[in-house]
Amino acid sequence: MSKLKFPDGFLWGAGVSSHQVEGGNTKNDWYSWEKNSGKVKEESGRACDYWNRFREDHKIAKDLNLNAFRISLEWSRIEPDEGNFDMSAIEHYRKMFLDMKANGLRRIITLHHYTVPLWFFQKYGWHKNKSVELFSRYAEKVAEGLGGEIDLLITINEPRLVVNRGYLVGDRPPGKRNPFLFWRARRNLVQAHEKAYDSIKRIYPDLPIGITQFTNDFDYFGRGRWQNWLTEKIESFYNWHFFDEIKDKQDFIGINYYYGAKVKWCYPFYELATYEKRVTDMGWGVMPEGIYEITMDAWKKYQKPIYILENGIADSEDKYRASFISGHLRALHKAIRKGAFVQGYFYWSFLDNYEWNDGYAMRFGLVEVDYKTLERKIRPSAWEYAKICKSNELETG
Ligand code: BGC
């Protein structure tokens, strides 16, 4: 039996996002999308009621030896109407932040995790240039009200996915399939991040700010030389282009990693197909080595602190979760041994939650939620993870 030790001060966490767990978010684009698009299995409704039950959840996080917790803020609660900021929502988030602190949890906060206020969706959208200013104004209000209580700030969760799904595939709001609007929205997201970065840094110069991106370890579908060349270009665009564009306006590299993928050509240009035999309930191939490859790539390219901000498995029977986590941590540790400066790992997700288009069937949680009673039940795999978090090391057999 050997032990893989993680660096001192390593952050051990788990994450959730506002719309997926808070419940009652009726003033955002997703609420309307759930009702009207016909592309969503079920409505989010009261979700896990984290908005009211956060104390219970933070206490569970503490019992599981986590030392960090990732949540997102719901822009539509903070700015329910254009230009009208609701101080009671800010105060509510302050209570949540203080409670995290009281439970020994570092506060890792995302400003935009897929949802935007309904007014923004109806009147603007990321393809409108005004979105840049509107987002940075919201970011500034958050910094003024809560900045002192945040340990690490993510402006935008998975910007590439926001524009790919929203403007090319069209299965998420605003449901467009328009390459021209896609480019505009993409450019605006880059600028929205940069402007928000500058305005928050004016108030809190030492607060680490960055983004987190959905990444894949790519494999080649074809063998031809041009296919390899093209796949490399796609990989680089897919994983790294947004980080490249925001250049030095980022203090860390946030990585969300779930699976490796092959490139298959089709509309819009390509699709990712899994090729592993073992797949999760989502149909995603389990490929722990990918986290090593991605982390090394990020380290070589940017030489900045790296946080794995999402890695997890939909596994309703909790059969594979513990080995999924330990397998990925073993691969991550290899990257650390090779010199990558990794500062934290966040399992996704803390609670079973609303999995967007898939509704409630996908169960990613360390903690199981009974959606009828809202009762929380810690899964056996969570106790395995808790051991690693406590000892700061992984035992390998
Ligand atoms: C998103 C989460 C989502 C998870 C699993 C990530 O891309 O940030 O909101 O639940 O994937 O699909």
Length of the chain: 397
Task: Encode pLDDT of 219-235 as tens digits.
Answer: 766 667 777 787 788 88
CATH number of the structural domain 3-215+289-395: 3.20.20.80
Half-sphere CA count of 61, side-chain side, radius 13 A: 33
Average pLDDT over residues 93-111: 98
Q: Is the predicted pLDDT of residue 268 greater than 90, yes or no?
A: no
Would you place residue 266 in the very low, low, confident or very high pLDDT band (cuts 50, 70, 90)?
Answer: low
What pLDDT is recorded for position 227? 74
Q: Is the predicted pLDDT of residue 216 greater than 90, yes or no?
A: no
Average pLDDT over residues 66-92: 98
Task: Encode pLDDT of 174-213 as tens digits.
Answer: 999 999 999 999 999 999 999 999 999 999 999 999 999 9
What pLDDT is recorded for position 88? 98
Q: Ligand 1 pocket check: which of 158, 313, 348 to mutate, most ligand atoms within 8 Å of Cβ?
A: 348
Going from N- to C-terminal start, the domains of the chain cover: 3-215+289-395
Question: Average per-residue pLDDT in the chain?
Answer: 94
Residue nearest to atom 10 of ligand 1 (CA): 355
Q: Ligand 1 pocket check: which of 160, 356, 358, 366 to mutate, most ligand atoms within 8 Å of Cβ?
A: 356
93-97, 123-127, 174-178, 285-289, range with the lowest pLDDT: 285-289
Task: Encode pLDDT of 243-263 as tens digits.
Answer: 999 999 999 999 999 988 766
Collapsing DSSP to helix, strand or coil, 46 comes out as coil
What pLDDT is recorded for position 230? 77
Average pLDDT over residues 152-166: 97
Residue nearest to atom 3 of ligand 1 (CA): 355
Q: Percent of the chain having pLDDT more than 70?
A: 95
Task: Encode pLDDT of 362-376 as tens digits.
Answer: 999 999 999 999 999
Average pLDDT over residues 143-162: 97
Give residue 360 CA to ligand 1 midpoint distance, Å.
Answer: 13
- 3-class SS letters over 82-146: CCECCHHHHHHHHHHHHHHHHCCCEEEEEEECCCCEHHHHHHCCCCCCHHHHHHHHHHHHHHHHH
Task: Encode pLDDT of 275-284 as tens digits.
Answer: 556 778 998 8
Average pLDDT over residues 47-60: 98
Would you place residue 272 in the very low, low, confident or very high pLDDT band (cuts 50, 70, 90)?
Answer: low
- In angstroms, the Cα distances linking 1 to 49, 190, 245, 288 are 42, 47, 44, 20
